[in-house]
Structure 1
Amino acid sequence: MHSPRSARPVRALAATLLVAALALAGCGSGDDDKSTTSASGAKAAAPDAAQGAAGSGAGGASRSRATVPRLTGNAIIRTASLTVRVKDVPKALEEARATAENAGGFVGSENTGRDAGGHERTRLVLRVPAGKYDEVLAALEGTGTLVERTSRAEDVTDQVVDVDSRVKSQRAAVARVRELMDRATGIRDVVALEGELNTRQADLEALLARQAALKDRTTLATISLSLSAAPVKRTAKENGPGFVDALAGGWHAFVTLLRWIALAIGATLPFAVLATLLVLLWLRAVRPRLSARGAAAPAPLPAAGAVPGQEERGERD
């Protein structure tokens, strides 16, 4: 039989081995968990890498979409045309100028003249900030009687975004060409790069000009204003013309008749003078000569075989 003292070391050794085996199993499971986690992370990262590769190979269109600036609001071009009838055109013109300047705008152009009826007429183009567009329109309509109004709003947000993106890309292209020029050593390479740089610089300037034009048209609204003088109102009553109106109408008709008569006389006077001269020429020169020729004509000769004495007897009988 074994003694109790000899069994204790065996049990202690067995316990030590069991603890070591459990520790090794725990370490192995931890490594498996880490490998599983890293594998799943690699699988999850693979689609992202594939998408990144696909995005990088999509070309300039994908790059431009990634760099497109976002606008805080829509870019809208606002234009309007107003025709207002006023009593005093110069006064209304000064009020329109003051309205535009107080709103932060200015007068783009101005043209003053008179219409067929002799009324003064002024046409001017106002440029006002887009935020003051409605306020300025209301103020201009209040200067007189509104005759006609047309307004238009054009959304050019897509054009603004496209031009901004192209400007950014073109600037980057110009910078790359300049870097290549700094690194170039051969004359041919330098000449070729200079031609490319000039082309891209010209394209960039054209895009910048278009960008500035869009910014100007979207920032400032355009208002075309026409001011015309109101015709003088008649003081006659609405129930019909009176004696004074009839007298004025008759006098006007009489003056008109005299004008027509004077025109007729003036038109026929040259022909009347010519006819009078012809009649006087006939009476004074042609007709007396014809009469004198008739009086100087010889008497007719007697018939053949007739005796002069017999003719006298016959006449006496």
Structure 2
Amino acid sequence: MHTSPSARSVRALSGILLAASLALAGCSGANDSGGGSAKSDAGASAPKAETAGGAAADGKATRGTPRLAPDAIIRTASLTVEVKDAAKALAQARATAEGAGGYVGDETTSRDADGHERTRVVLRVPGEKYDEVLTGLEGTGRLVDRTAKAVDVTDQVVDVDSRIRTQRASVNRIRTLMDRATKLSDVVTLEGELSSRQADLEALLARQASLKDRTSLATVTLSLSETPVQRADDDPGFTDALAGGWHVFVSMLRWIALALGAALPFVALAALLMLLWLRVVRPRLPRRTEAAPAMTAFGPLPSARPAPDSAEETGRD
């Protein structure tokens, strides 16, 4: 079967079109695959760039924002503990404070009339060891009273730090002006201003040091007593009243004995002076003579005689 030339040309044209479409499809597939990988690479690098930019922005914000003091808290506590041996308990408290990196700031020890010791000690301990030290101190005896207090002074710390930076810059400006001043009057004026601002700066530095000391070290006041200590919320009973009355009575007798002992030297001196007066001085004094009767033209006046007793007058009658 023979085909016509027109049919052959149509078949050839159809083959050419099919080959061209297949070639275009392959090129488009290659372009899509390459573009997808490029887009994926761009998408993967975009978050990295964004993260880096965000980190840089955060770094700038962190550098620009002043850091607050992480532990600007003043901690104080007061403990009252009843112990059997105050000296031993004091040594234990001292060891607890020094073991935590602190020290003993103040110590006062007294003894009552019965010979019992009472000790009051102030301990300075690091803030991070505050709770641990309190627990150790409570174990020295019977805890009678405990008071703890924490005050946040972050605002004060930030304010003082900012004022110190401003004051230092002000002092540096005054010093720069002094270096450039040529007139004596200007130098004198600037020196007075510099002294004033320097004094303000030193006061701020002292306050900063005080805040740093009070926030870095907690203050614990410990009272140790060998005598029974009554709680603040306990009502006194009959035995407490009896013991208090006996204590007052003994104290009164002791004060009376002290007063007599103090007055005894003066009493002895007064008795000695009186004895010297009666035994030595008075016997040597001249005795007074009787006054002579008054003389008249008819002779001396009779001396006055004492009136007779009523019994003698009755007998004469």
Q: Under TM normalisation by the shorter chain, which class is it?
A: 0.5 to 0.7
- Counterparts of 2:127 and 2:111 in 1: how far apart (Å)? 32
Aligned residue among 129, 134, 156 for 1:159: 156
Q: Partner letter of residue 195 of structure 2?
A: N
Q: SS in structure 1 opposite 2:66?
A: coil
Q: Distance in 1 between matches of 2:82 and 2:95?
A: 18
In the TM superposition, what is the alpha-carbon distance from 1:298 to its structure 2 partner? 4.5
Contact 1:68/1:165 (8 A) holds in 2: no
Q: Which entry has the higher C-alpha Rg, 1 or 2?
A: 1
Tell which deviates more after alignment, 69-78 or 120-129. 69-78
| Structure 1 runs of 4+ with >6 Å offset | none
Offset, 1:299: 4.1
> What letter matches 1:105 in structure 2?
G
For residues 177-196 of structure 1, the aligned pairs below 5 Å read 177-196=174-193
Report the CA distance between 1:116 and its aligned residue.
Answer: 6.6
Q: Is the 8 A contact 1:79 1:221 kept in 2?
A: yes
- 1:169-208 matches, cutoff 5 A: 169-208=166-205
Count the aligned residue pairs: 177
- CA gap of 1:158–1:300, structure 2 versus 1, over 3 A, is same
Deviations 1:252-287 (A, max 9, x none): xxxxxxxxxxxxxxxxxxxxxxxxxxxxxxxxxxxx
Q: Say whether residues 1:94 and 2:97 are aligned partners.
A: no
Deviations 1:127-174 (A, max 9, x none): 000111000000000000000000000000000000001001111111
Q: Deviations over 1:4-53 (max 9, x none)?
A: xxxxxxxxxxxxxxxxxxxxxxxxxxxxxxxxxxxxxxxxxxxxxxxxxx
Specify whether residues 295 and 230 from structure 1 end up closer, same or farther in structure 2 by C-alpha distance, changes over 3 A only: closer
**Alpha carbons 1:68, 1:161 under 8 Å: kept:** no
Q: After the TM superposition, which residues 116-127 of structure 1 pair with which residues of structure 2 at under 5 Å, given as runs? A: 118-127=115-124
CA distance in 1: counterparts of 2:102 and 2:111, whole angstroms: 27
CA contact (8 A) 2:69 2:154 kept: no
Offset at residue 296 of structure 1 (A): 3.6
- Deviations along 1:84-113, one digit per CA (max 9) or x if unpaired, are 000000000111111111111111101111
Would you say the 8 A contact 1:125–1:224 is kept in 2? yes
Counterpart-to-counterpart distance in 1, 2:309 and 2:66 = 116
Q: Contact 2:69–2:157 (CA<8 Å) still a contact in 1? A: no
Query: Equivalent of 1:210, from 198, 207, 210?
Result: 207
Return the offset for 1:176.
Answer: 0.9
The alignment's TM-score, normalised by the length of structure 1, stands at 0.52
C-alpha contact 1:177 1:197 (8 A) present in aligned 2: yes
RMSD of aligned C-alpha atoms? 2.3
Partners of 2:314 and 2:206 lie apart in 1 by 111
Q: Residues 103 and 132 of structure 1 are in contact (CA less than 8 Å); yes or no, is this contact kept in structure 2?
A: yes
Tell me if the contact between 1:124 and 1:224 (Cα under 8 Å) persists in the aligned partners.
Answer: yes
Secondary structure class of the residue paired with 2:145: strand
Distance 1:228 1:67 in 2: 54
| Aligned equivalents of 1:210, 1:68: Cα separation in 2 | 23
Give the share of equivalent positions with the same residue, in percent: 69
> Conserved in 2, the CA contact under 8 Å of 1:69 and 1:165?
no
Q: Which residue of 2 aligns with 1:275?
A: none
Q: Which runs of 5+ in 2 are unaligned?
A: 1-62, 229-307
- Structure 1 runs not aligned, ≥5 long: 1-65, 232-291, 302-317
The one-letter amino acid paired with 2:107 is: E
Aligned to 2:221: 224
**Matches of 1:297 and 1:67 in 2, distance apart?**
129
How does the TM-score come out when normalised to structure 2? 0.52
AA aligned to 1:214 is L
Structure 2 match to 1:144: 141
